[in-house]
Structure 1
C-alpha cells in the first residue's frame, strides 16, 4: 500500500485500541514537516542559499519537475507543492502552513483505505471528540518492522524510514514504537538521534530535509513553551 510519510506517522502515533492520538498538541508542525520532507525527498523542493547573514534560507520549487512526479499523482502532495510554489518561505513558516488542516484530511484518507475508523463521542458527556481506532494493522506493522530493524537491530535505514525516525525523535517518541529487547530506552533514543542527524538523504535534497527537521523541532518547542506558560 502506498502511503505518505505523514500518514505512516499518524498511524504510529494513534493508539490502535483507543484511537487516541499521542502528541496531538504537536501534530500540526509534525505533519507539515513530514509533507515538506516528502517533497524534498521527491526532488520537488529545495533550499536557496541565504542572501546575507541576516536573511533566512527560503524553500522554493525547482523549475523542472522530476519524472514520475509524486506531487502530480497525490492531491495532498500536490496541494502542499502549490503552497510552497506560492512564494519563497522559510521552512519554519512552511511546516505550520502545510500542517494546517492536514490531520483531518489524512485521517479521512486512512479511513477510506480501511486502516482506521472514526468513532464519535463526547468528553465528560459535553465536548465532541472523534477517535480513530485501527481496523487493518498490517501496513502499520510493516512500518514498525522497518523501524525495529534500524532502531534495535542497527540496520542502515532507507530515506523514508530515516525521515519517520527523525520526526518521531522530534517528539521523543521513537523508542515507543519498537520492542527494545535488551536495549535501554536511552540507547534507542540515542540511535534515533544519530539517524536524524545522519547523512541519509542525497546531497541534492539534504538542505531541504534538514531545514524541515529544524523547523519542525522549533515549532514543537515553541508550542510546548506557550502551553507551559499558559499553564503557569
Structure 2
C-alpha cells in the first residue's frame, strides 16, 4: 500500500495502543512539510530561497496530495509575485494537514477513530492502530538505514530529513540514544539523494521547518518556566 510522507509521519506520531499523538506540535510541522515534499517529488511545486510556487497544477492521483495542490494554487494565486513563502504556508496548513492525514489513515483502515469525553464534558478523539502492516514496513525501512547503515531510497531519505528538521528523532527510535540517531539523521539529511531541482526545494523546506520548530520549542520552554 502506497501512503504519503504525511501519513507515514502520522503513523510514527500516533501511539499504537492509546491513539494519542506524541510530540503533536512538532509532528504537525513535519506532516505539513511531508505534503509539500511529496508534491515537490512529484514535480508539482518548487521552493527557491523560501519562496513557494506551483509549477504543474496537474493532479497527482492521490486525493490527499491533490486537495493540498488545489489549495496551494488558490493561495499562491492570491499573493503578489514572489510573496508566497514556504514558512507562511506551513504555518497556515499545519493544523488542517494533520486532520487530513489522520482522516486518510482512517479511510485506509490503518487507524480507527475513537471518541471519548474527558471528565464527561470535553470531547476528544483518539486513533489507535487497526492495521499495523504499513507502519511495520516503514519502521523496517528506517531500521535498515539507521541501525544497519543501508543506503536509503529517496522517499526514506526525505522522511528522515523531515523527522530531523522537526527534531522528531525519538518518534522513529525511542530506544536508541538520541545522539546516535541525530548524527545519522543529519548525515542523511545533508546528502544529495533527490537530484536538482528537487533537492534544492526540499532543502528550502527543511530549513523552514527547522526554524519554525526551534521557535515553537523555545516558546513552549519559556511558557513552562514562567
Question: What's the TM-score once normalised by structure 2's chain length?
Answer: 0.87
The question of 1:197 aligning with 2:186 is answered no
User: How far apart are the structure 2 equivalents of 1:179 and 1:225?
Assistant: 22
Show the counterpart of 1:51.
none
User: How far apart are the structure 2 equivalents of 1:188 and 1:226?
Assistant: 25
Show the counterpart of 2:36.
36
Q: What number of residue pairs does the alignment pair up?
A: 218
Show the counterpart of 1:76.
64
Show the counterpart of 1:18.
18
Deviation at 1:39, TM superposition (A): 1.0
- Kept in 1, the 8 Å contact 2:32–2:90? The answer is yes
User: How far apart are the structure 1 equivalents of 2:50 and 2:161?
Assistant: 21
Deviation at 1:184, TM superposition (A): 4.3
Show the counterpart of 1:53.
none
For structure 2, list consecutive stretches of 5 or more residues without a partner in the other structure: 77-81
The question of 1:168 aligning with 2:163 is answered yes
Show the counterpart of 2:212.
219
Show the counterpart of 1:61.
54
User: How far apart are the structure 2 equivalents of 1:166 and 1:201?
Assistant: 12
Deviation at 1:91, TM superposition (A): 1.4
Structural mapping, 1:126-205, within 5 Å: 126-178=121-173, 184-205=177-198
Residue 97 of structure 1: which of 92, 98, 105 is its match?
A: 92
For structure 1, list consecutive stretches of 5 or more residues without a partner in the other structure: 49-55
Deviation at 1:122, TM superposition (A): 2.4
Deviation at 1:179, TM superposition (A): 8.0
For the residue of structure 1 that corresponds to 2:159, the secondary structure is helix
User: How far apart are the structure 2 equivalents of 1:38 and 1:78?
Assistant: 11
Distance verdict in 2 for CA 1:186–1:225, change over 3 Å: closer
Distance verdict in 2 for CA 1:179–1:195, change over 3 Å: same
User: How far apart are the structure 2 equivalents of 1:216 and 1:227?
Assistant: 16
When the two chains are superposed, the root-mean-square deviation of aligned CA atoms in Å is 2.1
Which stretch of the first structure deviates more once superposed, 101-110 or 1-10?
A: 101-110
Residue 230 of structure 1: which of 214, 223, 226 is its match?
A: 223
- Kept in 2, the 8 Å contact 1:166–1:195? The answer is yes
User: How far apart are the structure 1 equivalents of 2:171 and 2:98?
Assistant: 21
- Kept in 2, the 8 Å contact 1:14–1:20? The answer is yes
